[in-house]
Amino acid sequence: MKLYGYWRSSAAYRVRIAMNLKSLAAEQVSVHLVKDGGEQHSREYQQINTQELVPSLMIDDNGQQRVLTQSLAIIEYMEEVYPEVALLPSAPFDKSIVRAMALTVACEVHPLNNLKVLQYLANELDTTDEKKAAWYHHWVQEGFSALEKQLEQHSGLFCFGDTPSLADICLVPQVYNAKRFKVDMSPYPNIERINVHCLTQQAFIDAIPENQLDAS
Amino acid sequence: MKLYGYWRSSAAYRVRIAMNLKSLAAEQVSVHLVKDGGEQHSREYQQINTQELVPSLMIDDNGQQRVLTQSLAIIEYMEEVYPEVALLPSAPFDKSIVRAMALTVACEVHPLNNLKVLQYLANELDTTDEKKAAWYHHWVQEGFSALEKQLEQHSGLFCFGDTPSLADICLVPQVYNAKRFKVDMSPYPNIERINVHCLTQQAFIDAIPENQLDAS
C-alpha cells in the first residue's frame, strides 16, 4: 500500500493513526500542500486523486492498483478488510455514537478550518488575521462544546469506553490543529484528558505530524 | 421512530431519502431552523441533540429510547439494522467509492454552505451578498467538479451503477441547494443527469423539501 499524505494534514493524520492501530504498513508519499501552490494540484497527483486532496491510499485489489480517497471512507474500508484491531464497537447503536462523534469533527469543524478555506478567507474576502483566528476558534469551540457533552455520556479512557475508536482518530488531529491555533482547551476537560491519554499510545505517537519524514 | 428535521435542511433531506428507499416510516417532527433564532437552539431540543443540529432520529433500542445524530451515522445505522434495500454495494472497494462520493458532498461542500456558515459570513465578516454568493458557488463548483470526474468513471443511472446508493442520497439534496443558489449546472452533465433520474423515483420525490408538511 502507498499512502499519499502530508505531515500536517489532519485527514492524513487520521489515516496514519488508523493504520498504526491496525498494524498496517504503507509506503509514505509526501504531497506538499503549500510548496509551488500545492503539489496536490499537480497533473501527476490529479491522476491519483481527482479531488486534489490528501490522503489517497493506493491498494492492490486482486492484482489491480486502486486508489481510495476521503479519510473516513479509507478507514471504513480498512475496518472491513482488516477487522483487527476494531475501530468501531460492534453494537449498531454504539457504532452510530462513535461515527457521530467522528462526523462532528469531520463535518462540523475540520471542513471550515482547513488550509483552503483559510486561504479563501484571506485572499477573496480580505479577512484580517485577527478575524481569521476568530473564525477558526468559533468553529472549533462550537464543535468541541458539542463533543464535550457527548463525551460526558460515553467516554472512558477514550472517546467511547476504554478502547480507541474512529472518534479518537478524528479527535486527536483536530486537537493538534486547535492547539496550533492557540484555542483555549480549558472548557473541554474530557477532550483534553482523552487527547493526553491517546498520546501515550504508540499508534498515536507514531502518527504525530512532527514524527513524519516530511515534517519541516 | 421519530425524525426531527426541517424541510429545507439538506442533512434531514438525506435521511428522508434513505428511509423512503428502505420503506421505513417515522413520525416527522419539525424543528424550525430560522424562527425565533432557530428552534434547534431551544432548551427542549438541546436535550435531544446536544449539537443543536437536525436531523435527529429517536429510536427504540430494546425498549430504551435512544437518539441518533449526524445524517451519515444515522444512515449507516439503518444500513446495518435494516439491510434491505441496500444503500451501499457489497464489495469493500466499491463501498469505499460510494462513501467517498458521499463524503465529497458531506465534508467538502455542505459544511461550507449551510445556514450557520452563511450567517457567520454576513454577521461577523460583513460579507456582501455578492461575495457570499461567490463563496457559495466556489465550494459547490470545487466539489461538483471532483464528483463529476468520479461519476465519469463509476456512474450508471445513479452515482454508482444502476441502483441508488448513499452517494445519490447526499448528491440530490446538494443539487437542490445549488439550484436554489442559482449555480450553473452545465459543467456537470453527469450530476445533472443523475439528479433528474433520481427525481423520477418515488423515494426521492417523497423526500423533496416542498413535499414536507412543514414547507412554507
B178: CB partners within 8 A, 6+ apart: B140, B144, B185
Q: Look at residue A76 in the predicted model and tell me its pLDDT.
A: 98
Query: Which chain A residue is nearest to residue B134, measuring alpha carbons?
Result: A124
Predicted confidence at residue A195, as pLDDT, reads 98
In this structure, what DSSP letter does residue A3 have? E
Share of chain B above pLDDT 90, in %: 94
The one-letter amino acid code at B85 reads V
Residues A168 and A101: beta-carbon distance below 8 Å: no
In this predicted structure, the answer to whether residue A156 has a pLDDT above a threshold of 90 is: yes
- Better-scored residue on pLDDT, A21 or B61: A21
pLDDT at B50 over 90: no
Cβ separation A92–B112 shorter than 8 A? no
Inter-chain residue contact B107 with A72, CB threshold 8 Å: yes
Phi (first) and psi of residue B155, to 5 degrees: -80, 155
Is B80 close to A95, i.e. CB distance below 8 A? yes
CB–CB contact B127 A124 (8 Å): no
In angstroms, the CA A6 to CA A114 distance is: 13
Residue A195's nearest CA partner among A215, A216, A177, A181 is A177
Q: What is the mean pLDDT of chain B?
A: 96
- How high is the mean pLDDT of chain A? 96
Q: How confident is the model at residue B189 (pLDDT cuts 50, 70, 90)?
A: very high
- Residue B197 amino acid letter: H
The pLDDT of residue A62 is: 84
Q: Where are the alpha helices (DSSP H) in A82-158?
A: 92-103, 110-113, 115-124, 129-154
- The pair phi, psi for residue A14, each rounded to 5°, is -55, -50
Q: Which contiguous run of DSSP H or E holds residue A65? A: strand A64-69
If you count residue pairs, one on A and one on B, with CB atoms under 8 Å apart, how many are there? 116
Q: What is the mean pLDDT of residues A107-112?
A: 97
Cβ <8 Å between B100 and A68: yes
Give B65's contacts (C-beta < 8 A, 6+ positions apart): B58, B59
CA of A214 vs chain B CAs: smallest distance (Å): 25
Asked if A103 lies within 8 A of B77 by C-beta distance, the reply is no
Q: What is the pLDDT of residue B18?
A: 98
**Runs of H (alpha helix) within chain B:** 10-21, 43-48, 71-81, 92-103, 110-113, 115-124, 129-154, 166-180, 189-198, 202-205
Name the DSSP class of A25: -
Instruction: Give the phi and the psi of residue A155 in degrees, each rounded to 5.
Output: -80, 155
CA of A169 vs chain B CAs: smallest distance (Å): 16
For residue range A114-146, list pLDDT tens digits in order. Answer: 989 999 999 999 999 999 999 999 999 999 999
Question: Looking at B12-16, B46-50, B94-98, which range is the least confident one?
Answer: B46-50
Domains and CATH numbers, chain B: 2-85 (3.40.30.10), 92-203 (1.20.1050.10)
pLDDT class for A100, splitting at 50, 70, 90?
Answer: very high
Find the range with the poorest average confidence among A42-46, A89-93, B66-70: A42-46
Query: For the segment B115-174, what is each residue's pLDDT rounded down to a tens digit?
Result: 899 999 999 999 999 999 999 999 999 999 999 999 999 999 999 999 999 999 999 999
Confidence of residue A104 (pLDDT cuts 50, 70, 90): very high
Residue B30 reports pLDDT greater than 90: yes
Kindly report, residue by residue over A23-72, the tens digit of the pLDDT: 999 999 999 998 888 999 999 999 899 889 999 999 998 889 999 999 99
B68/A100 Cβ within 8 A: yes
Cβ-nearest to B81 among A92, A120, A121 = A92
| A182-199 per-position pLDDT tens digit | 999 999 999 999 999 999
Contact predicate A82/A151, CB 8 Å: no
CA angle, corner A165, sides to A160 and A58, nearest 5?
Answer: 165
Lookup: cell for A122: 484571506
Q: Which of A73, A117, A131 lies at the smallest CB-CB distance from B96?
A: A73
User: A94 to chain B: which residues are within 8 Å by CB?
Assistant: none
* Residue A212 CB-density burial (10 A; 0-12 exposed, 13-18 middle, 19+ buried): buried
The pLDDT of residue A212: 96
Residues of A with CB under 8 A from a CB of B: 50-53, 59, 61, 66, 68-70, 72-74, 76-77, 80-81, 92-93, 95-97, 99-100, 103-104, 106-108, 110-112, 117, 120-121, 124-125, 127, 131, 134-135, 138, 146, 149-150
Contact check, Cβ <8 Å, B96/A127: no
CA distance B91 to chain A (A): 10
pLDDT-based confidence at residue B34 (cuts at 50, 70, 90): confident
Residues of chain B found within 8 Å of residue A93, distances taken between Cβ atoms: 59, 61, 66, 68, 77
For B51, name the nearest residue in chain A, comparing CA atoms only.
A146
Which amino acid belongs to residue A204?
Answer: F
